[in-house]
Amino acid sequence: MSRVLRYIGQRLLLTIPMLLILLTVVFLLLRVMPGDPVSAMLGGRNISAEVLESYRVRLGFDKPVFAQYGEYLGGIVRGDFGESLRTGKPVLQELFTRFPATIELAIWGMLVAMIFGFTSGVLAATRADKLTDHGVRVFHITSFAMPLFWLGLMFQVFFCVKLGWFPVAGRIGGRLAFEFQSITGFYVLDAIIHWDGRALLDILSHLVLPAITLGIALTGLQGRMSRASMLEILDQDYITTARAKGVPERRVVLQHALRNALIPIITVFGLQFAVLMGGAVLTETVFSWPGIASYLVRSIEARDYPAIQGSIVFIAIFISLVNLIVDIFYSVIDPRVRY
């Protein structure tokens, strides 16, 4: 236990310089971008120079860059991400409001990737060098290379506009949005808590296409990793011994090979989650999903410095925590790991 705790402490300490570097790069990039953030915040209207200067002073843009950087770092340490220039609300409050929507979409997207990717990878490995294997590998390459925004738009055109099976955008229908009372921010869980079947069906209908679009981004990588891992395990001596004893092939695959094949897949789960958050930017934009990624996009368009920096730091902290949890879970599954 002491080794695990020491490892967790080391990982947390390594997270600090990573976040500092990330925040510094984002801060500097935003400052060298052309254009005036105050003018962008005010909508580019014809405003006198005196009014613009008063806004710069109130928002702190009249201070030297190093002073602005120092104040923002101090705010991050205190848990103060500043106020959004676009909405005037605390950035951290808005991020926590939108966080459940992004996590709900990410969880379902990861579930889609696990179902399609892991299942197809195991299927391809058990039928190596056969027609099924070649077909699955083509599917993995195609899903990995397919642009998310194009896939999302095609889903909308075919399933929403032409067939009318699913709504085009949003998390919940317009009429239900006024009646539905969210408790946790996770709409699926809230509908179950309220025992509201009508709301649950509506929420799931809004969730299907964004989750599939986002999950396909990871299906190719998940499937190729699963196939390679299973092929390596199925070639081990203990698998050959189990087959020689007459153990049924299904039991060999499910009971003996599958558990060990999960180890390298779980290892890259944290990296996949980072990819998932990147894909959420495109998915939330296409489907008008009210999450952190769409909030970040609108903040970039408005040159909202505090909101941009706060969103990136928030996402980076969350991804770091996910990677830490994955590493701990990895040590539980594989007892050979020593810290």
- C-alpha dihedral sign at 256, 262, 264, 265: positive
For 137-152, the pLDDT digits (tens) are 888 788 777 777 788 8
**Run means of pLDDT, 10 residues per run, the chain, 339 residues:** 68 77 79 68 65 73 79 80 80 87 86 83 78 79 79 87 84 72 82 83 88 83 79 75 74 70 68 70 82 84 80 81 71 56
- Within the chain, residue ranges assigned H as helices are 2-32, 37-41, 49-59, 65-78, 91-113, 119-126, 131-145, 148-155, 174-179, 187-194, 197-234, 237-244, 249-251, 258-267, 269-286, 292-301, 305-333
Q: Which of 23, 55, 8, 11 is nearest to 36 (CA)?
A: 55
- C-alpha dihedral sign at 112, 114, 120, 123: negative
Whole-number pLDDT of residue 37: 66
Whole-number pLDDT of residue 223: 79
Token pair belonging to 78: 């205190």
Residue with tokens 């209207």: 45
Q: Which CATH architecture has domain 91-333?
A: Orthogonal Bundle (1.10)
Whole-number pLDDT of residue 187: 83
Rounded CA separation 336/339 (Å)? 10
Whole-number pLDDT of residue 232: 77
Token pair belonging to 168: 């085009």
Residue with tokens 């930017």: 281
Residue 169 phi, psi dihedral angles, 5° rounding: -155, 170
Measured from the Cβ of residue 115, the count of other Cβ atoms closer than 10 Å reads 13
pTM: 0.78
Whole-number pLDDT of residue 332: 61
Where exactly are the structural domains of the chain? 2-78, 91-333
For 52-95, the pLDDT digits (tens) are 777 777 767 777 778 888 887 888 888 778 788 777 788 888 88
Token pair belonging to 136: 């699955």
